[in-house]
């Protein structure tokens, strides 16, 4: 039997997850069966199970992918420490979320995943890990701005970062449920709330 390349395996995994997203958005997590996923992906049961042992594994993988780009952006900002405002950092994150949601309905999938996390400890743990990492990375950004005097220093960087992280679920919920025009000004509003220092 010829050896299957990693590129082939990655393509099949992506095919399965794309099919799962379509099914979950159309029918929800609980109404989607594994048979639905086999049919939607156009793959055999064996091919699907080669990549994912269960529907829950697919939900976990989708949730992780949905957060990966956002986390990478926040981590990059924290690591590279560019000049500018905290508002610009958060606005950049919201812009990314908005663009992703326009492409593949990421916001609606996120809201479905949050609901699922209330009954799925593994998914809840994953969200906790990802949000903790995001809070930690944002705290580095906040700490730098505190040291420069752009943000108040009497409140811990972790507390301010925690407050900033709270903006993201609210924005995602609005993207999922409201007309896009109703949230069009949110990103600029965030920039206005935390403008760049006058000398930056």
CATH classification at residue 44: 1.10.10.60
CA distance 15 to 140: 37
What would the pLDDT profile of 134-158 be if each residue is shown by its tens digit? 899 889 888 888 888 888 889 999 9
Split at pLDDT 50, 70, 90, the class of 84 is low
Residues 11 and 104 in one domain: no
Q: Is 17 helix (H, G, I), strand (E, B) or coil?
A: helix
Query: Does the structure show a pLDDT above 60 at 3?
Result: yes
Whole-model pTM? Answer: 0.83
Residues 34 and 14 in one domain: yes
Give the number of domains in the chain.
2
Residue 35: C-alpha distances to residues 21, 30, 39 (Å): 15, 13, 6
Position 198 in a domain: no
What would the pLDDT profile of 34-81 be if each residue is shown by its tens digit? 999 999 999 999 999 999 999 989 998 998 888 887 788 777 777 775
Of the chain, the end-to-end C-alpha distance in Å amounts to 62
Residues 61 and 98 in one domain: yes
Position 113 in a domain: yes
CATH classification at residue 139: 1.10.357.10
Position 93 in a domain: yes
Q: Residue 49's domain spans which residues? A: 1-53
Position 86 in a domain: yes
């Amino acid at each position: 039997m010829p050896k299957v390349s990693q590129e082939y395996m990655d393509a099949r995994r992506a095919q399965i997850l794309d099919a799962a997203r379509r099914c979950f958005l159309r029918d929800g997590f609980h109404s989607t069966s594994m048979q639905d996923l086999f049919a939607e992906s156009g793959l055999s049961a064996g091919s699907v199970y080669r990549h994912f042992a269960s529907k829950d594994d697919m939900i976990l993988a989708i949730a992780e992918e949905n957060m990966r780009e956002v986390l990478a952006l926040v981590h990059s900002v924290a690591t590279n420490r560019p000049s500018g405002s905290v508002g610009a950092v958060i606005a950049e994150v919201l812009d990314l979320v908005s663009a992703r949601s326009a492409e593949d309905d990421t916001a609606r999938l996120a809201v479905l995943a949050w609901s699922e996390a209330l009954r799925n400890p593994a998914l809840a743990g994953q969200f906790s890990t990802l949000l903790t990492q995001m809070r930690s990375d944002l705290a580095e950004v906040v700490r730098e701005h505190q040291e420069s005097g752009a943000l108040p220093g009497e409140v811990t960087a972790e507390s301010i970062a925690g407050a900033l992280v709270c903006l993201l679920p609210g924005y995602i919920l609005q993207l999922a449920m409201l007309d896009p025009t109703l949230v069009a000004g949110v990103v600029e509003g965030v920039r206005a709330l935390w403008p760049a220092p006058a000398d930056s």
